[in-house]
Each structure stands twice: as structure tokens, then as C-alpha cells.
């Protein structure tokens, strides 16, 4: 399953949510976060995060991910 | 010849481009999309931007798939092989192209890793060129007229 270059939803464990908050990611109240995945590897998902000084790549480790939700087809707009 | 893309993707360039679009200029979501975004807790602008980036990249992926189809058709002709391309589908979640050839009225499926095609088109890799040639040769082995 290739998840690179896709915006998708990630359901994080409590630990994962804490880890991302420590990484200074602005998260909504939900454990479900919508991210843009730049690349994946054995460590986890590398997501693109915009910070004041520009884009950063942040790793979400696989062990923090409970599930992933990605639309199977391109979402059609009106 | 049928060209299609199964699944989707949003390139970094297209993602960057849509990220700066003001909220009031984003295309509206359908009612179903709004419901899904709400259920998942995804901000509607993020959802709309994802859809827009996906639509933009889809055009590029279709062009790439068509380019591969033409390349394969040229290779088959040049090598005097008996096949013709019926269909090329890029499967984005699997990272491969599914090609359907027709040889003497029979359909012959062929799978090509997207990485090989990327190496060929983007990096001009000689190895990728040789691998593509080998894949075709072996798929059509014994069928040369």
C-alpha cells in the first residue's frame, strides 16, 4: 500500500497524540488528525507541517497509529 | 486504447499551491463530503484543499499514464512484436501500472512498477530503459512474428 503524497486521516493513540503535541503540532481536540503524507518508511509516516519558518517534515511512528483513513478515489468537487 | 488512474495522489507542488488559497475561494464541498468531514473531525477547508490538490494531480497522472502507453506502443512496433496496447491503468495505492496487451486476439496482462517508469521518465535511467524493454520482451516471448 503506497500512501506517499496523500492527504489522509490518522487515528492516533493517546501516546501518539502526546508525542505530536510535544512536537508542537497544533491538534484539534480529536485523536483523528488530517495530515499530508510526504513519504512512508519502516519508521512511520513522514508528514508535512507548516511552521513559521517554512515546511517541516515530522515523523509519526507506526506504533502511535491506530488506523488510517484515506479516500480510495479522488474527491470530486462541485 | 484506454487510459485510466485508479486511486489518487496529491503532489507536494499541488498541495503547496492549494494551501495558500483563501477559504472563501475554495470550491464548496458536496453535502456528503461535509458530513464525512464533520464525522471525522476534519476541518472543511482542509478537506476541500485535499480534494482540489487531488484533482490537479489527477490530470498529471493521466498524462503520465498516456505517455507510458505511447512509449510501450512505440517499443512494440519498433521491435516487430505482435502485440497492441488495449489499456493502461495507473494504480496509485499499489504503485504500479497495469497494462493489458492484445496478441492474436488474446488478452495479456502486464504489470510494471511505477518506480521503473519514474526512473525512466524523470531520471533518464538506462537501467530503467533496459528493464522496460526486458519486461515487454518477456511478456511477448515466443510471439514474435
**Is residue B142's pLDDT more than 70?**
no
Residue (of B1, B4, B2) closest to B92 by Cα position: B4
pLDDT at B42: 87
Q: What is the C-alpha separation between B35 and B32, in angstroms, rounded? A: 5
Q: What is the C-alpha separation between A3 and B100, in angstroms, rounded? A: 25
Phi and psi angles of residue A55, each rounded to the nearest 5 degrees, phi first: -80, 145
ipTM reported for the complex, 2 dp: 0.85
**Is residue B83's pLDDT more than 90?**
no
pLDDT at B44: 92
Contact by Cβ (8 Å): B88, B111: no
User: pLDDT for A35-66, tens place per residue?
Assistant: 999 999 999 999 998 888 988 999 999 999 99
**Is residue B90's pLDDT more than 80?**
yes
Mean of per-residue pLDDT scores for chain B: 91
Please name the member of A1, A32, A76 whose beta carbon is closest to the beta carbon of B41. Answer: A32
pLDDT at A76: 73
Note whether B55 contacts A: Cβ–Cβ < 8 A. Answer: yes
**Is residue B21's pLDDT more than 70?**
yes
Residues of B in contact with A32 (CB under 8 A): 40-42
Nearest residue on chain B to A7, alpha-carbon basis: B50
Contact by Cβ (8 Å): B107, B86: yes
Q: What is the C-alpha separation between A46 and B119, in angstroms, rounded? A: 22
Residues of A in contact with B15 (CB under 8 A): 5, 7, 36, 48
pLDDT at B75: 87
- Distant-in-sequence, close-in-space partners of B134: CB < 8 Å, separation ≥ 6: none
Share of chain B above pLDDT 90, in %: 66
Please name the member of A9, A72, A75 whose beta carbon is closest to the beta carbon of B33. Answer: A75
**Is residue B126's pLDDT more than 60?**
yes
Query: C-alpha cell of B88?
Result: 493502461
**Is residue A9's pLDDT more than 80?**
yes
Residues of B in contact with A77 (CB under 8 A): 27-30, 48, 51-52, 55
Element (H, E) at B33: helix B31-40
Structural domain boundaries in chain A: 6-69
| SS3 assignment, position B36 | helix
Amino acid at each position: 500500500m503506497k500512501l506517499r503524497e496523500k492527504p489522509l486521516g490518522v487515528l492516533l493513540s493517546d501516546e501518539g497524540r502526546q508525542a505530536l503535541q510535544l512536537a508542537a503540532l497544533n491538534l484539534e481536540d480529536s485523536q483523528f488528525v488530517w495530515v499530508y503524507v510526504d513519504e512512508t518508511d519502516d519508521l512511520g509516516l513522514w508528514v508535512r507541517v507548516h511552521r513559521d519558518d517554512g515546511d517541516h517534515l515530522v515523523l509519526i511512528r507506526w506504533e502511535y497509529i491506530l488506523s488510517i483513513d484515506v479516500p480510495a478515489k479522488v474527491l470530486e468537487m462541485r | 486504447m484506454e487510459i485510466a488512474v485508479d486511486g489518487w495522489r496529491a503532489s507536494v507542488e499541488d498541495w503547496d499551491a492549494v494551501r495558500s488559497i483563501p477559504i472563501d475561494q475554495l470550491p464548496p464541498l458536496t453535502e456528503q463530503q461535509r458530513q464525512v468531514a464533520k464525522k471525522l473531525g476534519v476541518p472543511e477547508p482542509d478537506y476541500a484543499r485535499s480534494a482540489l490538490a487531488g484533482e490537479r494531480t489527477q490530470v498529471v497522472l493521466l498524462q503520465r499514464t498516456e505517455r507510458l502507453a505511447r512509449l510501450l506502443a512505440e517499443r512494440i512496433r519498433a521491435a516487430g512484436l505482435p502485440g497492441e496496447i488495449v489499456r493502461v491503468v495507473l494504480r496509485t495505492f499499489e504503485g504500479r501500472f497495469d497494462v493489458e496487451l492484445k496478441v492474436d486476439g488474446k488478452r495479456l496482462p502486464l504489470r510494471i512498477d511505477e518506480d521503473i517508469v519514474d526512473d525512466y521518465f524523470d531520471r533518464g535511467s538506462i537501467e530503467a530503459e533496459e528493464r522496460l524493454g526486458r519486461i515487454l520482451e518477456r511478456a511477448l516471448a515466443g510471439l514474435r512474428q
